[in-house]
Amino acid sequence: MSLTIDAALAGAKTRLASQSESFGLYAQVLLAHILDKDRAWLLAHGDYALTDPQAADWDKAVNRVAAGEALPYVIGEWEFYGLKLKVTPDVLIPRPETELLVDIALAWLRANPTRRRAVDVGTGSGCIPVALAANIPDLQITATDISPAALAVANANVERYKLEDHIALKQTSLLEGLPGPFDLICSNLPYIPSERLPVLEVSKREPWLALDGGPDGLMLIRPFLQQAATALATGGLLLAEIDASLATAVIDLAKGHWPHAKIEVRNDLTGLPRLLVVEN
């Protein structure tokens, strides 16, 4: 008997309910990917019968999500800032919180049209530089990561949006070996204190290398700010996503490097202090 869209989605409810309160949405996103359609099409074609290969792919994909694998890794891509980006278990899944960084960066770049030299430190999937370069056509941005596997994912996303002339990828630790100064420095480095990681759901699905901020969460942020102090151009902007618990400590560190700069931590959409902003 053929499996229809309505039956497939209904059957997935019990299988995915334990993984997320959004299991209905998860099922729709998953099936839309397998059928290469959008969710609106699914909802309008509930009687459509999956082919045997589609039904087999659907069953395998639902089993993977039901077993605890993150949905974006199963479908191999995720949306960030209106862009569909490749993701693998080698990189963090792009999150809406990071769109705050992109919003502020784009506003600053548009207000400063002569400032076009940028760097993204710990780029992962490349979501930040791709979003910036896709919106600022004359931007030149270097994206660094210590992980070759992460850079391979970032490269795929750069190529997907034909941004090779605007984004240069470099394997290095933080800002090491990069000739400054940069007008804009962005980062979303690992910032979760180590002792909190084992109890967080994200640590079961996403790479520890991209999450573990060391004993105090500042293991990489501390040297990053030290390097950025000499790499940030006069009149430049630094944006760094942080853990909400680190706001006071990060402000103190930044003030030590930029005693005369405007320094603040801005809240994300949930009201948590999320983004360090340094206006040099």
Question: Whole-prediction pTM value?
Answer: 0.92
pLDDT tens per residue across span 138-172: 999 999 999 999 999 999 999 999 999 999 999 99
Query: Using DSSP, how many helices (H) and how many strands (E) does the chain show?
Result: 10, 9
Name residue 249's amino acid.
A
Q: Give pLDDT, residue 19.
A: 66
Instruction: Inform me whether the pLDDT recorded for 243 exceeds 80.
Output: yes
Structure tokens at 197: 């990681």
pLDDT tens per residue across span 113-124: 999 999 999 999
Nearest CA to 109 out of 167, 164, 160, 185 is that of 185
Residue with the larger pLDDT of the pair 14 and 142: 142
> Which domains are seen in the chain, by residue range?
5-75 (1.10.8.10), 80-84+89-279 (3.40.50.150)
3-state helix, strand, coil in the chain (%, to 5): 45, 20, 35
The pairing of beta strand 232-241 with beta strand 140-145: unpaired
The pairing of beta strand 167-171 with beta strand 262-267: unpaired
Residue 251's H or E segment, with its range, is helix 247-257
Structure tokens at 31: 């099936």
Instruction: Inform me whether the pLDDT recorded for 175 exceeds 80.
Output: yes
d(CA 111, CA 169): 26
Q: Give pLDDT, residue 184.
A: 98
Structure tokens at 38: 């959008």
Strand, coil or helix: what is 21?
coil
pLDDT tens per residue across span 192-222: 999 998 988 888 888 888 899 999 999 999 9
Contact 197, 203 (CB under 8 A): yes
Residues in the chain: 280
